[in-house]
Amino acid sequence: MKVGIVGLPQVGKTTIFRLLTQGRVDTSSWGSGREAHIGIAHVPDARVDKLAEIIKPEKTTYATIEYVDLPGLSRGDGKAALAGQAKEMATYLTSLKNVDALLHVVRGFEDAGLPHVEGSVDPSRDIGLFELEMIFSDLAAVEKRLERLAKDLKKTKSPELEMENDVLLRFKEALENEKPLRELELTREEEKRIRGFTFLSAKPIVLVINVGDQDAPKIPHVVEEFRLQKQASMRNVGITAVCGKIESEIAALPPEDARMFMEDLGISGNALDRIIQKSYDLLGVFSFYTAGEPEVRAWTIARNTTAAQAAGVIHTDIEKGFIKAEVVSYEDMLALGTFQAAKGKGVLRLEGREYRVQEGDVILFRFNL
């Protein structure tokens, strides 16, 4: 899974990036350049920890998320793209082409030494401003493609191009009415036709309100505290909050000390868990597990993924040669420890290619090479 971290300048994106990647990427030399930075976050998973405790594998591997930290997008960048001056937006579009979702960091903290680019702290305004820049960027791309399609359709009649043209005309109407593309419902065939485009406003988005230390108690009630009810009701939008500066410092402490500090601040859970869980919920993904003496590992898949497709996530050869899946629930594997013991207790299931993998399934795939 790949997520792009975006936002206005001076909102704490790099702080959130360090927090998510747990300091694995050295950001000390980063300046105010326009390049993107990439880091990997290991997804905390108590199930992996528990399975590793009882199986004692040679290796333990957590699911991962790749985060791409983008430079701040300023007011006017999207309009510049619409006017044909797309230099800054080109950086965004290239870096975000393959991301599954956006993580929009929104400033919710006051800092006299770091003035807000808009003059005041107002998360709702900033969310709307950033959304509008994405809409302008998408509108520029849609109009450019429609011009090309008009020329192509004069030369030849193509059902595929006509469908693409119809979809893009719907997009144009929505964007001209300042409606993000993620609000639209598309058929599978329509989605296929526009898959090659990087429409920013079409991507699912997690809004992360970065609050100051004194506002840490507001985190559980971020929607009400910052009047974000409208955004919370929108399709493919998730909202959470972090206290980026202090939670980054707490994350470096021993677990027990960190827990005590979080309790003192009135924060439930940690920022990494909150953001990742919100991202998983928004994208409709979860983990299944492979477990044996060589390795206990979590794998991320979308809901309704079949057993054969899940096998392909591990290796395409396993999907091609799929025979069957031996499936044990996490709870049963935790109690019994091995597939053999689960079989002896009658709780191991043999499933075929079309079995829909469930969250927490522990699976051993049988296949031919």
What is the per-residue pLDDT across 222-259, written as a single tens digit (0 to 9) for each?
999 999 999 999 999 999 999 988 888 887 788 788 88
Q: pLDDT grade, residue 369 (50/70/90)?
A: confident
What is the per-residue pLDDT across 103-148, written as a single tens digit (0 to 9) for each?
999 999 998 888 888 889 999 999 999 999 889 889 988 999 999 9
Q: What is the mean pLDDT of residues 13-39?
A: 75
Whole-angstrom CA distances from 281 to 205, 262, 340, 354 are: 11, 24, 33, 23
Locus of tokens 């983990």? 287
The helix-helix angle for 271-283 and 244-251 (nearest 10°) equals: 110
The percent helix, strand, coil of the chain (3-state, each to 5) is 45, 20, 35
Distance from C-alpha of 157 to C-alpha of 34, rounded to nearest angstrom? 42
Higher-pLDDT residue of 187 and 31 is 187
Helices marked H in the chain: 13-20, 46-55, 77-82, 87-95, 123-155, 159-176, 188-193, 222-225, 229-232, 244-251, 255-265, 271-283, 307-314, 316-320, 330-336, 339-344
Distance from C-alpha of 179 to C-alpha of 164, rounded to nearest angstrom? 19
> Is residue 27 scored above 80 in pLDDT?
no
B/e letters for 175-204, b = 16+ CB within 10 Å, e = fewer, are beeeebbbebeeeeebeebbeebbbbbbbb
> Is residue 265 scored above 90 in pLDDT?
no
Residues contacting residue 16 through CB under 8 Å, at least 6 positions apart? 5, 103, 105, 208, 210, 242, 244, 271, 275
The residue among 113, 135, 109, 144 whose CA lies nearest residue 123 is 109
What is the per-residue pLDDT across 59-111, written as a single tens digit (0 to 9) for each?
999 999 999 998 877 676 655 555 555 556 666 667 777 899 999 999 999 98
The helix-helix angle for 87-95 and 123-155 (nearest 10°) equals: 90
Q: pLDDT grade, residue 152 (50/70/90)?
A: very high
CB 239 within 8 A of CB 223: yes
The residue among 334, 355, 353 whose CA lies nearest residue 345 is 334
> Is residue 31 scored above 60 in pLDDT?
no
pLDDT value of residue 106? 96
Distance from C-alpha of 357 to C-alpha of 301, rounded to nearest angstrom? 9
pLDDT value of residue 89? 60
Give the chain's domains with CATH numbers.
Answer: 2-282 (3.40.50.300), 304-367 (3.10.20.30)
pLDDT value of residue 26? 62
Q: pLDDT grade, residue 25 (50/70/90)?
A: low
What is the per-residue pLDDT across 164-189, written as a single tens digit (0 to 9) for each?
999 999 999 999 999 999 999 888 88
pLDDT value of residue 47? 96
Residues contacting residue 220 through CB under 8 Å, at least 6 positions apart? 268
Lowest mean pLDDT among 37-41, 216-220, 225-229, 283-287: 216-220
Q: What is the mean pLDDT of residues 301-311?
A: 96
Q: What are 166-172's contacts with CB under 8 Å, separation 24+?
A: 167/193, 167/194, 168/142, 168/194, 171/138, 171/142, 171/199, 172/139, 172/142, 172/143, 172/146
pLDDT value of residue 202? 92
**DSSP secondary structure string, 293-325?**
SSEEEEEEEETT-BHHHHHHHH-HHHHHTEEEE
Side by side, the strands of the sheet bearing 349-351 are 59-61, 295-302, 285-291, 362-367, 322-328, 349-351
The residue among 167, 236, 208 whose CA lies nearest residue 13 is 208
What is the per-residue pLDDT across 328-362, written as a single tens digit (0 to 9) for each?
999 999 999 999 999 999 999 999 999 999 999 99
The structure's pTM equals 0.86
> Is residue 296 scored above 80 in pLDDT?
yes
> Is residue 156 scored above 90 in pLDDT?
no
Higher-pLDDT residue of 285 and 249 is 285
96: helix, strand or coil: coil
